[in-house]
């Protein structure tokens, strides 16, 4: 079985102490069209957009000590985007419940953790047919490692590394403890009268360790790129995303992680129902459904949307 730390957080786990959107705009987040004043996040009206999601994984793998383990990881995640004149401010934060069972010893450990706190500001140029944004973000190091015991440290590192792996390294800045990340953001999306939505985004960030912990890489660079294709119909939106995350200066052997994400968003009236599956396709986190692989299933509710399309 392939150990979880074979990827970008190898530096964290190398001492045997068994590591998002950028609050990102998604085509599925596009809300009502801009009004005469041109305000609102995404294609949304001048209103706050939000999503409360539960992201989960269960599976088997190998611990830092080389033991077979079963993992269950659940992360309630809050995403909020609120308008600020023609621009928008986005915040992402998550809780994390992680359980690890060493199967040969029948020993179970479980604890609660928090993610880092992400805050982003985006300068936006929008019409009903397209959106262009540039942004800057700061991810604050709210995720901390315990200091009471080696077992507690191992569990925390395994929890954060699992979240990073199951998401295909997406939003890695949320799940790297005791690390400050400053990132730049660019996205471009287009919407057609047929309901077709396509575009992409790229995020590049510098990560700096804020503690003297020897199990966390002191510095790193992360680059996340996505291509999105979505179709908007009366009852909801269907999205397919292809993404890749690169760690060009990491000392780990694995520097690139690719994933795909099918997503469906259903309009229920007062809220939307969001479902998503993140599928890492290559090592170290993938293939998702192979032995030792990782994946993430998401279900959540979000602000209500309606179908509004540009004219031909």
Q: Which pLDDT tens digit goes with each residue over 240-264?
A: 999 999 999 988 888 999 999 999 9
Asked whether the predicted pLDDT for residue 185 surpasses 70, the reply is yes
Residues in the chain: 312
Residue 283 pLDDT: 92
CATH of the domain at 14: 2.40.160.40
In a domain, residue 198? The reply is yes
Asked whether the predicted pLDDT for residue 239 surpasses 80, the reply is yes
Over residues 270-274, the mean pLDDT reads 96
Alpha-carbon distance of 171 to 249, in angstroms, equals 17
Residue 28 pLDDT: 44
Neighbours of 105 (CB within 10 A): 10
Alpha-carbon distance of 204 to 54, in angstroms, equals 26
Asked whether the predicted pLDDT for residue 21 surpasses 90, the reply is no
Asked whether the predicted pLDDT for residue 152 surpasses 50, the reply is yes
pLDDT bin (cut points 50, 70, 90) of residue 308 is: confident
In a domain, residue 308? The reply is no
The whole-model pTM stands at 0.85
What is the percent of the chain with per-residue pLDDT over 90, rounded to a whole number? 65
Closest CA to 136 of 121, 116, 123, 151: 121
Residue 113 pLDDT: 98
Residue 40 pLDDT: 42
In a domain, residue 84? The reply is yes
**Domain span holding position 291:** 4-303
For residues 20 and 174, the answer to whether their CB atoms sit within 8 Å is yes
In a domain, residue 309? The reply is no
Q: Say how many domains are in the chain.
A: 1
Which pLDDT tens digit goes with each residue over 45-96? Answer: 567 889 999 999 999 888 766 788 999 999 999 999 988 878 889 999 999 9
Residue 232 pLDDT: 93
In a domain, residue 211? The reply is yes
Residue 99 pLDDT: 96
In a domain, residue 250? The reply is yes
In a domain, residue 224? The reply is yes
Mean per-residue pLDDT of the chain: 86
Closest CA to 238 of 192, 274, 281, 200: 274
Q: In sequence order, which residues have a C-beta less than 8 Å from that of residue 233 and are 6 or more positions away?
A: 195, 307
Alpha-carbon distance of 103 to 279, in angstroms, equals 25
In a domain, residue 311? The reply is no
Over residues 284-299, the mean pLDDT reads 92
Alpha-carbon distance of 306 to 17, in angstroms, equals 48
The DSSP code for 258 is E
Neighbours of 147 (CB within 10 A): 8
- Least reliable range by pLDDT among 51-60, 230-239, 269-278, 303-312: 303-312
């Amino acid at each position: 079985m392939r150990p979880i730390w074979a990827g970008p957080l190898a530096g964290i786990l190398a001492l045997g102490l068994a590591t998002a959107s950028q609050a990102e705009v998604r085509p599925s987040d596009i809300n009502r069209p801009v009004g005469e004043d041109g305000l609102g996040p995404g294609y949304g009206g001048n209103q706050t957009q939000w999503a409360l999601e539960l992201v989960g994984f269960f599976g088997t793998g190998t611990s830092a000590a080389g033991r077979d383990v079963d993992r269950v990881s659940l992360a309630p995640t809050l995403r909020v985007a609120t308008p600020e004149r023609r621009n928008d401010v986005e915040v992402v934060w998550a809780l994390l419940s992680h359980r690890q069972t060493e199967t040969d010893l029948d020993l179970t450990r479980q604890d609660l953790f928090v993610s880092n706190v992400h805050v982003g500001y985006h300068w936006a140029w929008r019409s009903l047919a397209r959106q262009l944004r540039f942004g800057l973000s700061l991810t604050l190091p709210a995720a901390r490692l315990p200091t009471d015991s080696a077992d507690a440290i191992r569990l925390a590192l395994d929890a954060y590394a699992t979240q990073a792996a199951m998401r295909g390294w997406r939003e890695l800045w949320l799940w790297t403890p005791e690390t400050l990340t400053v990132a730049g953001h660019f996205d471009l999306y287009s919407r057609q009268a047929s309901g077709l939505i396509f575009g992409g985004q790229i995020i590049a960030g510098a990560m700096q360790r804020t503690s003297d912990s020897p199990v966390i890489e002191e510095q790193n660079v992360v680059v996340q790129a996505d291509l999105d294709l979505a179709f908007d119909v009366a009852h909801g939106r269907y999205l397919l995303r292809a993404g890749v995350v690169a760690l060009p200066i990491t000392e780990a052997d694995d520097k690139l992680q690719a994933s795909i994400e099918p997503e469906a968003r259903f309009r229920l009236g007062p809220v939307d129902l969001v479902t998503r599956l993140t599928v890492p396709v290559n090592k170290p986190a993938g293939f998702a459904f192979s032995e030792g692989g990782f994946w993430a299933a998401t279900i959540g509710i979000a602000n209500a949307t309606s179908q509004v399309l540009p004219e031909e």
